[in-house]
């Protein structure tokens, strides 16, 4: 069967740790005489991550190696989310989003008195169009569409009209950050694997 992207993230071992970074494209210059600063925020925003897998035997490790090699370096993509925070801290049972490309303040409809908490993940789109967004402020729904009411990072990249957001087991679309796959094996035949990735935009 032909390999089709994005691949699903393996779940047979879990991960030991994941470091997630939110990168902003911001230019800053500072006068060497007065130390006054000029700052400009560009539209670029993306997720980066470093994933560390637990020590494992060959039967588990070879599944991970095959997954990583199937990506063919930076060519292929895969879906992945925050493996430790798979559900909302808030109480929202549904989230509907309307936004223009570039918006970080979204029009949102959340059932009355249900909440999203700062730090909650939401996902817009699926498969190769899946994007991960962090809620930046607590929000309590009113049961109707509220304009510019939900602050998220990163800004949405495509327009959404009454899009139902995914609010549990959220994922985004990623690719490896290098074109090589590496692993090590020790004298006890225990494998060690780590890899870095960036949001596929």
Residues 77 and 91 in one domain: no
Residues 182 and 166 in one domain: no
Q: How many domains does the chain have?
A: 2
CA atoms within 13 A on the CB side of 173: 17
CA distances from 52 to 20, 28, 33, 45, 132 (A): 12, 33, 44, 24, 20
**What is the 8-class DSSP label of residue 188?**
T
Q: In CATH, what number is assigned to the domain containing residue 62?
A: 3.30.200
Apex CA 9: angle with CA 6 and CA 11, to 5°?
155
Residues 61 and 94 in one domain: no
Look up residue 45 and give its two tokens: 């925003």
Q: What is the pLDDT of residue 188?
A: 87
Q: Are 172 and 141 in contact (CB under 8 A)?
A: no
Residues 77 and 111 in one domain: no
Residues 118 and 187 in one domain: no
How do the pLDDT tens digits run along the chain, 201 residues long?
789 999 999 999 999 999 999 999 999 999 999 999 999 999 999 999 999 999 999 999 999 999 999 999 999 999 999 988 899 999 999 999 999 999 999 999 999 999 999 999 999 999 999 999 999 999 999 999 999 999 999 999 999 999 999 999 999 999 999 999 999 999 889 999 999 999 999
**Which residue in 172, 173, 169 sits closest to 5, CA to CA?**
173
CA distances from 51 to 29, 83, 124, 178, 196 (A): 33, 10, 23, 13, 6
Encode 108-132 in three state secondary structure. Answer: EECCCCCEECCCCEEEECCHHHCEE
Phi-psi region of 70 (alpha: psi -120 to 50; beta: other; left: phi over 0): alpha
Residues 75 and 92 in one domain: no
Residues 76 and 91 in one domain: no
CA distances from 193 to 30, 34, 78, 116 (A): 41, 48, 17, 35
Provide φ and ψ at 73, rounded to 5°: 70, -135
pTM: 0.91
Residues 3 and 77 in one domain: yes
Residues 121 and 197 in one domain: no
Residues 48 and 111 in one domain: no
**What is the 8-class DSSP label of residue 175?**
E
Residues 182 and 161 in one domain: no
Residues 160 and 148 in one domain: yes
Q: In CATH, what number is assigned to the domain containing residue 147?
A: 2.40.30
Q: What is the pLDDT of residue 152?
A: 98
Measured torsion, CA atoms of residues 90, 91, 95, 99, in degrees rounded to the nearest 10: -30
Structural domain for 158, as ranges: 85-170
């Amino acid at each position: 069967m032909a390999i089709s992207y994005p691949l699903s993230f393996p779940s047979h071992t879990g991960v030991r740790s994941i470091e997630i970074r939110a990168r902003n494209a911001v230019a800053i210059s500072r006068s060497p005489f007065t130390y006054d600063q000029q700052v400009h925020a560009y539209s670029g925003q993306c997720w980066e991550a470093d994933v560390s897998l637990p020590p494992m035997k060959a039967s588990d490790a070879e599944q991970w190696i095959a997954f990583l090699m199937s990506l063919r370096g930076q060519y292929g993509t895969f879906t992945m989310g925050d493996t430790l925070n798979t559900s909302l801290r808030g109480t929202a049972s549904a989230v509907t989003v309307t936004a223009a490309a570039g918006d970080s303040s979204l029009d949102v409809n959340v059932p009355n008195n249900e909440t999203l908490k700062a730090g909650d993940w939401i996902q817009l789109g699926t498969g190769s169009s899946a994007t991960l967004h962090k809620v930046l402020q607590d929000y309590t729904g009113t049961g109707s569409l509220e304009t510019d009411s939900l602050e998220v990072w990163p800004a949405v990249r495509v327009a959404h009209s009454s899009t139902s957001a995914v609010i549990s087991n959220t994922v985004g679309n990623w690719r490896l950050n290098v074109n090589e796959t590496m692993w090590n094996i020790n004298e006890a035949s225990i494998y060690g694997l780590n890899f870095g990735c960036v949001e596929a935009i």
